[in-house]
């Protein structure tokens, strides 16, 4: 493991920005491409939003985000201690939402899966959910100042 970080925050919507900024700062030393950084931040937003909207079902609890690097690989783990997911396979289906009345798109896991290299979901009803995502970063190209 090259580097590690961990933060805990309340499951309130304004902390989605905190999670995005924290992961962006953490991966900055890896010199990520703009595309990789956008993919990671979007995936973090989706996972944290799931904790807020679905995990705690309108209530407030804690969300923990930890991340570590190994070479060019970033792994992020986001955990809540909320209500858990009854059927993980169904929850990962595109357009599935447990909150259709709230006009949710049901694309959170699909977005995470398309932007990250690997995603694992661990959940136990009544105990919470953990999403583990990883991505091998491509280094951004250095600008050529000769021109």
Q: Which residues are designated catalytic?
A: 46, 50, 104
Residues contacting residue 138 through CB under 8 Å, at least 6 positions apart = 32, 33, 35, 36, 72
What are the distances in angstroms from CA 24 to CA 29, 33, 104, 108, 109?
9, 11, 26, 19, 20
Q: How far apart are CA 79 and CA 54, in angstroms?
A: 12
In the three-class reduction of DSSP (H, G, I as helix; E, B as strand; rest coil), residue 103 is classed as coil
């Amino acid at each position: 493991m090259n580097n590690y970080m961990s933060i805990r925050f309340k499951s309130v919507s304004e902390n989605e920005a905190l999670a995005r900024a924290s992961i962006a700062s953490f991966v900055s030393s890896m010199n990520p491409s703009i595309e990789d950084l956008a993919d990671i931040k979007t995936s973090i937003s989706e996972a944290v939003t799931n904790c807020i909207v679905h995990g705690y079902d309108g209530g407030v609890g804690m969300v923990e985000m930890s991340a570590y690097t190994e070479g060019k690989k970033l792994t992020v783990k986001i955990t809540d201690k909320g209500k858990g997911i009854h059927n993980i396979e169904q929850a990962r289906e595109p357009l599935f939402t447990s909150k259709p009345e709230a006009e949710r798109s049901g694309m959170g896991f699909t977005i995470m899966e398309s932007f990250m290299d690997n995603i694992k979901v661990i959940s136990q009803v009544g105990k919470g959910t953990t999403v583990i995502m990883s991505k091998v970063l491509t280094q951004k190209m250095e600008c050529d100042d000769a021109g």
